[in-house]
């Protein structure tokens, strides 16, 4: 068996990332992955995740594959919506409270927690700059999150997110108001929108 050819096709199907579980399904053992890694024929990017040496890692895809209890939010969601032109220095994700993300996620992400019943509110799928689909919040949920965390994200990010949202042709004010009530930021949101719209 030509392991590298097999792993190349696995990588192609999965956004460049080879996961241990997928490799095993294709008849490649953990021991063989370890050997290929030692020979530098594949590179380990996180526990249970590898890429081929000539691949550019899609960090957002890599993070999203580590847990289904994560949704890209706040600054990272703004970036994925192309509302912010700055690549976030640290990726931001939201997780249901009571869920503890792995050390590999905590090492590269700022994590916000939300009640489990509000976790899926506004969940959508967006494309990373590399073209892979990941779970993120829609524009309205992202704006509400930025308002809820305004002291943590900073005034500049907060105000530019609101301005860009107000100017966006994709905005849905009814949805924004509905989310703002559920996330208890309607009173904070109102005066800003009155100025911007």
Q: Mind listing the pLDDT tens digit for each residue in 114-154?
A: 999 999 999 999 999 999 999 999 999 999 999 999 999 88
pLDDT, tens digit, for every residue of 6-63?
999 999 999 999 999 999 999 999 999 999 999 999 999 999 999 999 988 999 999 9
What distance in Å separates the CA atoms of residue 149 and residue 8, rounded to the nearest whole number?
41
Is 3-57 assigned to CATH 1.20.1050? no
Contacts by 111-116 with C-beta closer than 8 Å and gap 24+?
112/73, 112/74, 112/145, 112/149
pLDDT given for residue 155 in this prediction: 85
Q: Output the pLDDT for position 197.
A: 72
Q: What is the pTM of this model?
A: 0.90
For position 170, what pLDDT does the model report? 86
Q: Name the residue ranges covered by the structural domains of the chain.
A: 3-57, 61-196
84, 100 contact by CB (below 8 A): no
């Amino acid at each position: 068996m030509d392991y590298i050819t097999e792993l190349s096709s696995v990588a192609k199907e999965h956004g460049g990332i080879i996961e241990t579980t997928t490799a095993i399904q294709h008849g490649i053992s953990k021991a063989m992955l370890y050997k290929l890694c030692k020979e530098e024929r594949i590179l380990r990017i996180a526990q249970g995740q590898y890429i081929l040496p000539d691949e550019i890692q899609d960090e957002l895809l890599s993070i999203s594959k580590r847990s289904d209890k994560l949704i890209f939010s706040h600054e990272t969601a703004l970036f994925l919506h192309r509302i912010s032109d700055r690549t976030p220095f640290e990726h931001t994700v939201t997780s249901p409270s009571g869920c503890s993300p792995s050390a590999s996620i905590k090492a590269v992400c700022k994590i916000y927690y939300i009640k489990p019943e509000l976790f899926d509110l506004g969940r959508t799928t967006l494309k990373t700059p590399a073209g892979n689909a990941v779970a993120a919040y829609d524009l309205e949920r992202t704006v509400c999150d930025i308002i809820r965390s305004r002291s943590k994200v900073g005034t500049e990010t907060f105000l530019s997110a609101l301005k860009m949202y107000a100017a966006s042709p994709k905005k849905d004010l009814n949805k924004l108001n509905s989310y703002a009530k559920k996330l208890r930021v309607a009173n904070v949101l109102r005066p800003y929108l009155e100025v911007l719209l």
